[in-house]
Amino acid sequence: MARIITLTLNPAIDKSTTVTGIGPNTKLRCTEPTYDAGGGGINVSRAIHKLGGSSLCKYFAGGPTGVFLKQLLDDQQIEQEVFEIEGWTRENFAVTDTSNNQQYRFGMPGPMVKEAEWQNALQQLEMQLNKGDYLVASGKLPPGVPNDFYAQVGDLTKKKEALFILDASGEALMEAAKSHIYMLKPNLAELGAMCGVPSITDLDLKSLAKQFLEKHDCKILVVSLGPKGALLATKNEMVQVPAPVVHQQSTIGAGDSMVAGMVMSLVGGKSLSEMVMYGVACGTAATMHQGTQLCNKEDADKLCDWIKAQ
């Protein structure tokens, strides 16, 4: 069976707590915090694990917080491999005010990564990738890593005949789009940025997806549409899959859960239309739970049956 390897350049420890009432100049007495491993690729690995699959989770980490992150992933029995860096892994912080149920989320920038550190990661990847492996990269780049890092990963997956799946945004995505990608999962805004279109309407989505595939070295494009589901586009097929309406709790990790479901389907030899249906089901399943819990298999399977029956 093909291996799934996830790649996270800017992981985080997500520290969450609650407090009753938030105001300035006073000591806010918080409840005991909970800690979760976070960051795009790490979330994909966690979601794959929840869906009953396995992956090798590779990420950059350093300092005592990096050691703690490794512990959090060990606790969840996620197979992992660290690219050691000198900077300390970041810690994000979320506080829910129980008096009004509002959540405040503080995101930190991530440590500076040295050139020798990211170059070493590229070399390691090149040595370790095998033909037919799925390499899934998700998330932002930390300070110090050049915007063309994912493009360089794309080039090396081409050389090694591995399959590169990317979920990124901003300049890193713009650069990566110039390289080789097997499957790309932008949301509407990210597709718009790549096509130079400020806002995409239902009327022009399919023709923009088609144009994108003609101009780029990308085999499969899945545009996620939030509560409207997703569009699968390849040179030969276009399939739009609506998302079921559910009791929505939190959309954190919907994109990563979707990617997890799609790569599981690919490894399982499913067709591309089945893949996007399962992806939408897993993305929607992630929205049914609070916080950083991602999708669970039972919800995802039920939602996928519902989607297939439409």
Q: Which residues lie near ligand ATP (CB under 6 A)?
A: 187, 224-227, 229-230, 243, 246, 248, 251, 253-256, 258, 280, 283-284, 287
Residues labelled as active-site residues:
256
Between residues 55 and 287, which has the closer beta carbon with respect to ligand ATP?
287
Q: How far is CA 79 from CA 45, 66, 87, 241, 258, in A?
A: 9, 15, 23, 32, 20
142 binding Mg ion? (CB under 5 A): no
Q: Minimum CB separation from ligand ATP for residue 308, in Å? A: 14
Between residues 103 and 187, which has the closer beta carbon with respect to ligand ATP?
187
Q: Minimum CB separation from ligand ATP for residue 251, in Å? A: 5
**How far apart are the C-alpha atoms of 107 and 85, rounded to whole Å?**
20
Between residues 82 and 277, which has the closer beta carbon with respect to ligand ATP?
277
Contacted entry of Mg ion, ligand ATP, none for residue 258, CB cut-off 5 to 8 Å set by kind: ligand ATP
Q: Minimum CB separation from ligand ATP for residue 217, in Å? A: 22
Contacted entry of ligand ATP, Mg ion, none for residue 16, CB cut-off 5 to 8 Å set by kind: none
Q: Kind of pairing, strands 4-8 and 56-61? A: parallel
Tokens of 101: 């149920």
CA 266 to chain centroid, in Å, comes to: 16
Between residues 4 and 295, which has the closer beta carbon with respect to ligand ATP?
295
283 binding Mg ion? (CB under 5 A): no
Q: Minimum CB separation from Mg ion for residue 22, in Å? A: 28
The three-state secondary structure class of 175 is helix
Sign of CA dihedral 102, 140, 294, 186: positive
The three-state secondary structure class of 134 is strand
Which contiguous run of DSSP H or E holds residue 27? none
Q: Minimum CB separation from ligand ATP for residue 216, in Å? A: 19
Residue in 87, 48, 46, 95 with CA at minimum distance from that of residue 66: 87
Contact partners, residue 116, CB within 8 Å, separation at least 6: none
Between residues 62 and 255, which has the closer beta carbon with respect to Mg ion?
255
Contacted entry of Mg ion, ligand ATP, none for residue 280, CB cut-off 5 to 8 Å set by kind: ligand ATP
Residue in 52, 62, 100 with CA at minimum distance from that of residue 82: 62
255 binding Mg ion? (CB under 5 A): yes
Contacted entry of ligand ATP, Mg ion, none for residue 179, CB cut-off 5 to 8 Å set by kind: none
Q: Which residue has the tokens 């399977």?
A: 301
Number of H helices, E strands in the chain: 10, 13
Contact partners, residue 216, CB within 8 Å, separation at least 6: 177, 178, 181
Contacted entry of Mg ion, ligand ATP, none for residue 248, CB cut-off 5 to 8 Å set by kind: ligand ATP
Contacted entry of ligand ATP, Mg ion, none for residue 226, CB cut-off 5 to 8 Å set by kind: ligand ATP
Q: Minimum CB separation from ligand ATP for residue 238, in Å? A: 16
Q: Kindly report the number of other CB atoms within 10 A of residue 288's CB atom.
A: 17
Between residues 154 and 255, which has the closer beta carbon with respect to Mg ion?
255
Binding site for Mg ion (CB under 5 A): 255
